[in-house]
Structures are given as C-alpha cells and as structure tokens.
C-alpha cells in the first residue's frame, strides 16, 4: 500500500533539507492550510446560506453571513496573525497593508500578500474559485513596524507562492523555489495529501484562455495571436481549444496540468491590464516558472522583474506553456501598437 504523505509531513521533510531552517515558514504554511480548510467548508455550502438565512438563523459561526471574499480575508488574516511568524499582510480586500505587531509578530521576518478569494463572482453559480498567496522576507529591520517598501518587492524576491483551488476537489499548489507540488484535500481526514508531485507545465499546449468578448479592445498583437490560435494547422495541433472560466486560479490550474496559455492583456477598458501584480500575477508567475513555464507582461517583460510602485498595481499578464507565451511575445514584438 502506498503511504499517504500529508502536506504537513511533506513540509517537515523538506525543511530537513535546509540546514538552519527555523520552522517559521512551516508555521506560516500551517496557518494557510488551516484557513484554507475553513474557507473550503464555507464555500461548499455557499448555496445553502440563503436557505438557513430564510429560517431566520445566523450561519454556523453564529455570525451574520458575510460576503465570502470578506469572510475568506478575515479567516486568512486571523490564522496568519496567530502564529507569530508574519509581521504584515497586504490583501486585495484591504486598501492598505496591515501590520501584525502583537507578541512575536513584530519580530517575524515574513510578509504575505494575498487574494483571499479570487474569481468570487463565480461563487453564486457554483464555479471554482481560489486563494492566491505570495510570501516575502521583509526588508525593514525585524522589531520595527513593516513599511510599504516591504510589500513593494519584485516577484523575483518571493520566498514562496501558491494557490488553493476550491474546485471539484480542493487543492493547494505551492512552490518555495524548488519545484511545484500539489496537495488534494481529503475532507474525511481533514488533511491535504500529496497528489501532484513535481508538477511540470508542458512546453506546448493546445488551450488558450482569454476573455474573447473584449476582442475589439485588445492590442493588435493579441488580436493576431488569437487569430493564429484559430487557424487550422495539423503540425501545431491548431485550431487550439478555447477555455475560459473567468477564475484565474482555475484557468491557471487547468493549463498547468494540461498545457496552455492564459492571457489578460491591456485593453481600452483596462489600460494597464486587470490583474494585480503583487497578489495575482507574481505568485502565478513564480509557480509557472518553477514548473518550466513562462510569465510576461509583454514582449520580453518578465513579470517577476517588474519593480512595483503600488500595492494594488495592475499588469498585463501572459502565462503558461513556454512556447505558447513566446509565440504571443513574437506577435507583440511584430505589432507593438
Ligand atoms: P477578482 O480578483 O475581482 O475576482 O478579479 C480577478 C478575476 C480573475 O480570477 C479572472 O481571471 C478575471 O478576473 C476575469 O476577468 P473578466 O471577467 O474581465 O474576464
Ligand atoms: Mg483576484
């Protein structure tokens, strides 16, 4: 019988490979997976909330039901603040970064950037959503309050990044810069189990994911690429398949496993792109690169080399199979306007 390896065991085993590791990152991951389980539980009964509400009851926590993205934000924030290993957090749900200064937190070295519930507009229709996280070491000295500078670091400084996808099963996929591993949640045991070891993004794929409804607003290079995807050519397995969930985590996850490309370019509606650099693009870029893929904001513009200037900064985003991303870059190079 093959033994199950839980996420907790996997992290402890890996930690042994890093002499001098203090266990702080392991504690941080333990907070992430606890919050993930709570959010998983809540999302799984999202459709029931109105029913219990109609009976005049509060939800199971005895609280007034909150929007799930606010709920997820609170759960991750509370879990991360409780371990004494994180000194600050920035979230899509909060305008400013939050300082954790109680107890050991002030002296902690890690900061976390998070999108607690990405694609939350999909919840009402029972479509997968996700949590995205990105972890850095602070720049400011331990023992002092974190500053904005701690959060405005380029993606190439990430210590770890990952996501949780609340899909037909719930999974956590993460990297600490040493490959990408995926863990599927077994709700009967209450643990994440190693299910996808050393994930590799296929160099080529046949799936392209983009909100094609915005076609008229896209830059010419992107329009040309879309047309390229749709042309018949047996040698390159075209026309490709179009798949767009509208939930970055789910679209990325599918492409990671099957091979493909996700595109959110600039448009007249979103002149800088829609996705947020620090807690959407950078963590996905880190995962993509660690799995052998590529992530750029345009031709020859590596996402992880962008120096951020704002917490909620947006960036155009092209991520996925290396050869597919390079093809888009070629079109953007040829049609720069
Ligand atoms: P959100 O963080 O407000 O949920 O927005 C991010 C989401 C991504 O998950 C998704 O890929 C994209 O926005 C979809 O945008 P659009 O509806 O414009 O295609
Ligand atoms: Mg988001």
Select from 182, 219, 224, 227 the least CA-distant residue to 200: 182
Query: Considering every ligand atom, which ligand is closest to the CA of 262?
Result: 1
pLDDT value of position 220: 97
Select from 228, 189, 229, 183 the least CA-distant residue to 206: 229
Select from 186, 202, 325 the least CA-distant residue to 265: 325
Atom number, ligand 1, closest to the C-alpha of residue 211: 19
Report the separation in Å between the CA atom of 25 and the middle of ligand 1, taken as the mean of its atom positions: 29
Which residue has a Cα nearest atom 6 of ligand 1? 119
Q: Tell me which of 243, 275, 281, 317 to substitute to probe ligand 1's pocket, judged by most ligand atoms within 8 Å of the beta carbon.
A: 275
Which residue has a Cα nearest atom 17 of ligand 1? 246
- Predicted confidence band of residue 51 (pLDDT cuts 50, 70, 90): low
- Predicted confidence band of residue 158 (pLDDT cuts 50, 70, 90): very high
Q: What is the mean pLDDT of residues 14-26?
A: 81
Atom number, ligand 1, closest to the C-alpha of residue 250: 9
pLDDT value of position 66: 66
Among 101-105, 149-153, 173-177, 306-310, the range scoring the smallest mean pLDDT is 101-105
Q: Tell me which of 264, 269, 271 to substitute to probe ligand 1's pocket, judged by most ligand atoms within 8 Å of the beta carbon.
A: 264
Lookup: tokens for 124 = 């009402």
Atom number, ligand 1, closest to the C-alpha of residue 129: 9
pLDDT value of position 121: 82
Of 45 and 321, the one with more pLDDT: 321
- Predicted confidence band of residue 56 (pLDDT cuts 50, 70, 90): very low
Which residue has a Cα nearest atom 15 of ligand 1? 246
The answer, yes or no, to whether residue 40 has pLDDT greater than 60, is yes
pLDDT value of position 49: 67
Which part of the chain has CATH 3.40.190.80? Answer: 207-334
Report the separation in Å between the CA atom of 21 and the middle of ligand 2, taken as the mean of its atom positions: 32
- Predicted confidence band of residue 30 (pLDDT cuts 50, 70, 90): very high
Superfamily of domain 7-196: Fructose-1,6-Bisphosphatase, subunit A, domain 1 (3.30.540.10)
pLDDT value of position 15: 80
Among 40-49, 175-184, 248-257, the range scoring the smallest mean pLDDT is 40-49
pTM: 0.94
Atom number, ligand 1, closest to the C-alpha of residue 270: 18
Mean pLDDT score across all residues of the chain: 92
Among 49-63, 64-78, 117-131, the range scoring the smallest mean pLDDT is 49-63
Q: Which tens digit of pLDDT belongs to each residue from 258-307? A: 999 999 999 988 999 999 999 999 999 999 999 999 999 999 999 999 99
% of the chain residues with pLDDT over 90: 82
pLDDT value of position 243: 98
Residues with CB under 6 A from ligand 1: 92, 115, 118-120, 211, 246-248, 251, 274
Atom number, ligand 1, closest to the C-alpha of residue 275: 6
Q: What is the 3-state secondary structure (H, E, C) of the chain?
A: CCCCCEHHHHHHHHHCCCCCCCCHHHHHHHHHHHHHHHHHHHHHCHHHHHHHHHCCCCCCCCCCCCCHHHHHHHHHHHHHHCCCCEEEEEECCCCCCEECCCHHHHHCCEEEEEEEEECHHHHHHCCCEEEEEEEEECCCCCCCCCCHHHHCCCHHHCCEEEEEEECCCEEEEEECCCCEEEEEEECCCCEEEEEECCCCCCCCCCEEECCHHHHHHCCHHHHHHHHHHHCCEHHHCECCEECCCCCHHHHHHHHHHHCCEEEECCCCCCCCCCCEHHHHHHHHHHHHHHCCCEEEEECCEEHHHCCCCCCCCECCEEEECHHHHHHHHHHHHHCCC
Q: Which tens digit of pLDDT belongs to each residue from 127-150? A: 999 999 999 999 999 999 999 999
CATH topology (fold) of 207-334: D-Maltodextrin-Binding Protein; domain 2 (3.40.190)
Report the separation in Å between the CA atom of 72 and the middle of ligand 1, taken as the mean of its atom positions: 17
Report the separation in Å between the CA atom of 3 and the middle of ligand 2, taken as the mean of its atom positions: 36
Q: Which tens digit of pLDDT belongs to each residue from 100-132? A: 988 899 899 999 999 999 998 888 888 999 999
pLDDT value of position 47: 75
Q: What is the mean pLDDT of residues 170-176?
A: 97
Of 14 and 28, the one with more pLDDT: 28
Sequence-separated (6 or more) residues with CB below 8 Å from residue 88: 97, 98, 99, 100, 111, 112, 138, 146, 150, 151
Q: What is the mean pLDDT of residues 180-197?
A: 96
Report the separation in Å between the CA atom of 17 and the middle of ligand 2, taken as the mean of its atom positions: 34
Which part of the chain has CATH 3.30.540.10? Answer: 7-196
Atom number, ligand 1, closest to the C-alpha of residue 120: 4
- Predicted confidence band of residue 53 (pLDDT cuts 50, 70, 90): very low
């Amino acid at each position: 019988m093959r033994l199950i390896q839980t996420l907790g065991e996997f992290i402890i085993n890996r930690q042994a490979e890093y002499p001098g590791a203090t266990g702080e990152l392991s504690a941080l991951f333990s907070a992430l997976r606890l919050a993930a389980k709570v959010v998983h539980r809540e999302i799984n009964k999202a459709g029931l909330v109105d029913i219990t509400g109609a009976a005049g009851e509060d939800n199971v926590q005895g609280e007034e039901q909150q929007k799930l993205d606010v709920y997820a934000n609170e759960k991750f924030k509370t879990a991360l603040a409780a371990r004494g290993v994180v000194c600050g957090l920035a979230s899509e749900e909060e305008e400013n970064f939050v300082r954790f200064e109680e107890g050991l937190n002030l002296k902690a070295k890690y900061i976390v950037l998070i999108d607690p519930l990405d694609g939350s507009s999909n919840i009402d229709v029972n479509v997968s959503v996700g949590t995205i996280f990105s972890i850095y070491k602070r720049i400011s000295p331990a023992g002092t309050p974190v500053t904005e500078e701690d959060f405005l670091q380029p993606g190439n400084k990430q210590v770890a990044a990952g996501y949780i996808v609340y899909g037909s099963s719930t999974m956590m996929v993460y990297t600490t810069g040493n490959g990408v591993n995926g863990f599927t949640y077994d709700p009967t045991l209450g643990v994440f189990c190693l299910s996808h070891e050393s994930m590799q993004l296929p160099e080529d794929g046949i799936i392209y994911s983009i909100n094609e409804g915005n076609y008229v607003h896209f830059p010419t290079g992107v329009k040309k690429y879309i047309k390229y995807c749709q042309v018949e050519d047996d040698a390159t397995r075209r026309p490709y398949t179009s798949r767009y969930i509208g939930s970055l985590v789910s679209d990325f996850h599918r492409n990671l496993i099957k091979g493909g490309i996700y595109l959110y370019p600039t448009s007249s509606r979103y002149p800088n792109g829609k996705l947020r650099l620090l807690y959407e693009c950078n963590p996905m870029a880190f995962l993509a690169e660690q799995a052998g893929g590529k992530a750029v904001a345009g031709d020859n513009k590596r996402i992880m080399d962008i120096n951020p200037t704002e917490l909620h900064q947006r960036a155009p985003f092209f991520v996925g199979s290396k050869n597919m991303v390079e093809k888009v870059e070629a079109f953007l190079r040829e049609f720069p306007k």
